[in-house]
Structures are given as C-alpha cells and as structure tokens.
Amino acid sequence: MITPLEIQNKKFSKKMRGYDENEVDEFLDRLTEDYEALYRENAILKDRVQILEDKMKHYTDMEASLQNALVLAQTAAEESTKNAQEKCDLMIKQAEEEARRIIERANEKIIDIENQYQEAKKQMYIFRTRFKTLLEAQLEAVVTLCDQLEE
C-alpha cells in the first residue's frame, strides 16, 4: 500500500507542454492530506478490528469453555443417575435375595415343626396304644384275680 510520505515525495519529470507544476503540487498536497487522513483512519479501523477480533476470540473461547462445562455437567449428571440406578438395582436385588432366604428358612422351620408334630403325634399314638394294652392287661389280671377270689 502506498504511504502518504511516498505521495508527498513523488517527483514528476518535466516535458514539453507538460502540466502546470503548481497545480500538480497543490493537487498532490490535497491528495496527501486526504490520503494521510484515510491512512490514519484505516490504521485506527485495523486496530479496532484487531480488538474486536480479540474480543470475539475471547468470547468464542468462553463459549467453548461453557459448552465443555455444560457437557461435563451433563455427563456427570448422567453418570450420577446411572450410578444411583445401579445402586438402587443392587439394593433391590439384595433385598429380594434376603427375602428369599428368610422365606426359605421359614419354610424349613415349618417343615421341621410339621415333622416334630407328626413325630409327637406318632409317639402319642404309640404311648396310648401301649398304655391301653397295659390297662387292658391289668384289667384282665384284676378280673381274673377277682374271679379266682370268688371261686
């Protein structure tokens, strides 16, 4: 890009029937002033553009960081939910297993008590039968003894 200083220092060669030197110099002076103003404005605008690009990069980076944080938070929430569900499932499974064991032990006790009841019933029947037989034998002995005494 041409600089204002290059415009100001530009010299033209002279030719016959050439341009009016004063008019060219005045035009170049005005051109230099306008170009210098535009050059400065362009430099200021470039600085502003750079500042805005830096800010945009900063905000873009911040947005990316926020996106990452959001993704991490969402992942952590999903992981926490998954872990809680797994823990809940494990607790339910353990409770069901414990309930099954309790029911199994209760059924075993019921069977054991039923067996004891049947054994006691059997022993009672045996005792009753033996006692009845003993009483009948004793009664017969008493009757026989009474008969013998009467004779």
Asked, for residue 99, whether it belongs to a domain, the answer is: yes
At 31-81, the pLDDT tens digits run: 888 888 999 999 999 999 999 999 999 999 999 999 999 999 999 999 999
Residue 7 or 59, more confident: 59
Asked, for residue 128, whether it belongs to a domain, the answer is: no
Q: How many domains does the chain have?
A: 1
Asked, for residue 102, whether it belongs to a domain, the answer is: yes
- Please tell me the least confidently modeled range out of 17-26, 56-65, 122-131: 17-26
pLDDT over 70 (residue 1):
no
Asked, for residue 81, whether it belongs to a domain, the answer is: yes
Asked, for residue 58, whether it belongs to a domain, the answer is: yes
Range of the domain at 99: 4-9+19-109
- In SS3 terms, 65-114 reads as HHHHHHHHHHHHHHHHHHHHHHHHHHHHHHHHHHHHHHHHHHHHHHHHHH
| Closest among 15, 37, 11, 13 to 25, alpha carbons compared | 11
Asked if residue 51 lies in contact with residue 23, where contact means CB atoms within 8 angstroms, the answer is: no
Rg (CA), the chain: 59
**Tally of CB atoms within 10 A around 32:** 19
Asked, for residue 148, whether it belongs to a domain, the answer is: no
Asked, for residue 50, whether it belongs to a domain, the answer is: yes
On average, the pLDDT of the chain sits at: 92
